[in-house]
Structure 1
Amino acid sequence: MRTLVSPARLRTPRGKTVYWTVFSLVLLGFTAAFLFPLYWAVTGAMKSAPELARAPSPIVPEVWHPESYAQAWQEMDLARYFLNTVVVAGGAWLFQLAVDVPAAYALSKLRPVLGNAIMGLMLATLMLPASALLVPTYLTIVDVPLVHANLINSPAAIWLPAAANAFNIYLLKRFFDQIPGELLEAATIDGAGPVRILVRIVLPISRPVLAVVSIFAIVGAWKDFIWPLLVFPDPGAQTLSVALQRMEPDMPLNLVLAGLVLAGLPMVGIFLVFQRQILAGLTAGSVKG
């Protein structure tokens, strides 16, 4: 296959040298672009506040202050906000799995009437900007239809709107479509109903895509800012992203950076631990029969 550089030229010593030089420079450039902001945040938290505010601030701290992280944890009461965020993210994850998995399974294998139209309407919601949905969603949360409950300052204000996620339903449906119909038909002949087939057959072989959906749900709830800012006016109920923004004017800049780094560590840890499952789920396109 002909590319910008022919395979014959790439096999020459000069071609190999040029290729690996360009490849290494591009790789180092992209790596630096991604890692430098992280380095700046981690080391910036270990500078003194005057040193961090200096323009330009030194790349390497003149005097290291690692105690800034412990100070930020105590003075900003991050343990409480970590707990609030864990409750919000964990509940959003459970609600999304409870709603999205059965919905995707029904659209993929049970094939209801107008199923394609329903899927199309779900995907159409992805075309709307999130800001356009803030007002109607907020009015719904303030006065939930039928039950007339006010969910302000309640984690349910995050859980319920996050439950039906069109992208996750589409991702799950595409994976379920690859499951051989003969496998489910054999289970039906053995007397298994739709719920038992879902629990005993479909879910065990769908672990890669379930891992991806779980990561999307947890990370989305963990880093969300605008919606928690609206529904958690009580400081004691706020999540990390909202609490850090609220305390920022009254805290030294190095402590704010330390709080931001601590808030991001759980998500980085989740990715490092489950990166194999995440990549497997993103590239899953078929299921062996």
Structure 2
Amino acid sequence: MTRTLISETVLRRRRGRLLHLTAVAVTVVVFAFVFLFPLYWMVTGAVKDPDELARATPTLIPETWNLDSFATAWTQLQIGKYFLNTAFYAVGGWFIQIAVDVCAAYALSRLRPWGGRVVLGAMLASLMLPATALLIPAYMTVADVPLFGVNLLNTPWALWLPAAANAFNIYLLKRFFDQIPGELLDAASIDGAGRLRILWSVVLPLSRPVLSVVSIFAVIGMWKDFLWPFLVLQDPDTQTLSVALSRLANTSYITDSEMFAGLVIASVPMVVIFLALQRQILAGLSAGGVKG
């Protein structure tokens, strides 16, 4: 018997079914409006004339469609340069996160070291801390790395190293690794495969769904992050796209419509990635949560 918020008896009635469909439709419309209206406002702001955008009474539908703002924003804001910076940081952060998180999850799931439960509990407890509470300790660490005395500010490592050990990704990977039958790993071990060979040849090929999810989260997280890159990348030549747009927004030669156009360009890659890979995201999230 399936448990639902509304009983099947009520749903069989015409009035109950109508009220249920109405409630679902209203909820979907409200949530769609809340999430999609900011995107709509950003896109329409990019194509409006600067005078129309500066009016005291805003217009929901643009009176004029000025597509030249995208070309102007690309050149004036140097979006191509900062786009490449952000892509470089995202790819490097993805590689380091995958390397660190996979090894940590594999060790906790299959190697089971002494104190592994304590380590996993400490990692999960770190998720309860607000990210802003860790900004000052993290900044002091990358500004003067303990023992080494190296300053990582304005370098890619200031972004990559703090994001390397992601507690959520490690937990997600560990949950998936726990579902892999032990017989497969034992068979590989009998054939002479070592721990690393088992990880590379057996575990990783079976973990493609969850690896896809972790990869998507890693790339999107590096791409859209603003506060941390704003703190550690003060050199304009090293800044990400979001930080550069924030800095250039205060300049006098950039109009509001050109800034909106820059924001649209910066948002397009992540929107495309999410729409194209949303099935993989849902499949990967649910893959490790069900015993099979």
Task: Specify the TM-score bucket, using the shorter chain as the normaliser.
Answer: over 0.9
Q: Is 135-144 or 276-285 further displaced after alignment?
A: 135-144
Map residues 1-289 of structure 1 onto 2, 5 A cutoff: 5-250=6-251, 251-284=254-287, 285-286=289-290
1:62 alignment partner AA = E
Q: Distance in 2 between matches of 1:197 and 1:25?
A: 51
CA distance in 2 between counterparts of 1:3 and 1:231 reads: 49
For 1:131-174, what per-residue CA distance to the aligned partner results, in whole angstroms no more than 9, with x for missing partners? 22222222221222333222111111111111111111111111
TM-score (norm 1): 0.94
Specify every segment of 5 or more residues in structure 1 that has no aligned partner in the other structure, as ranges.
none
Give the Cα separation in 2 of the matches to 1:23 and 1:102: 43
SS in 1 for 2:171: helix
Distance 1:17 1:187 in 2: 57
- Equivalenced residue count is 288
Distance in 2 separating the partners of 1:78 and 1:100? 32
TM-score normalized by structure 2? 0.93
Whether the 8 Å CA contact 1:225–1:242 is kept in 2: the answer is yes
The structure-2 alpha-carbon separation of the partners of 1:172 and 1:249, relative to structure 1 and needing over 3 Å to count, comes to same
The aligned amino acid for 2:48 is K
- Per the TM alignment, residue 191 of structure 1 is displaced from its structure 2 partner at its CA by 1.1
1:189-222 deviation digits (Å, cap 9, x = unpaired): 1111111111111111111111111111111111
Change (3 A) 1:139 1:5: closer
Q: Which amino acid aligns with 1:260?
A: L
Amino acid paired to 2:281: I
Could you tell me how far apart the structure 1 residues matched to 2:5 and 2:120 are?
Answer: 42
Deviation at 1:5, TM superposition (A): 5.0
User: Deviation of residue 286 (structure 1)?
Assistant: 4.2
SS in 1 for 2:207: helix
Distance verdict in 2 for CA 1:265–1:148, change over 3 Å:
same
* Unaligned runs of at least 5 residues, structure 2: none
Question: Contact 1:180 / 1:287 at 8 angstroms: preserved in 2?
Answer: no
Q: 1:5 to 1:99 in 2, by over 3 A?
A: closer
- Aligned-residue sequence identity (percent) comes to 59
Instruction: Give me the whole-angstrom Cα distance separating, in 1, the residues matched to 2:105 and 2:3.
Output: 42
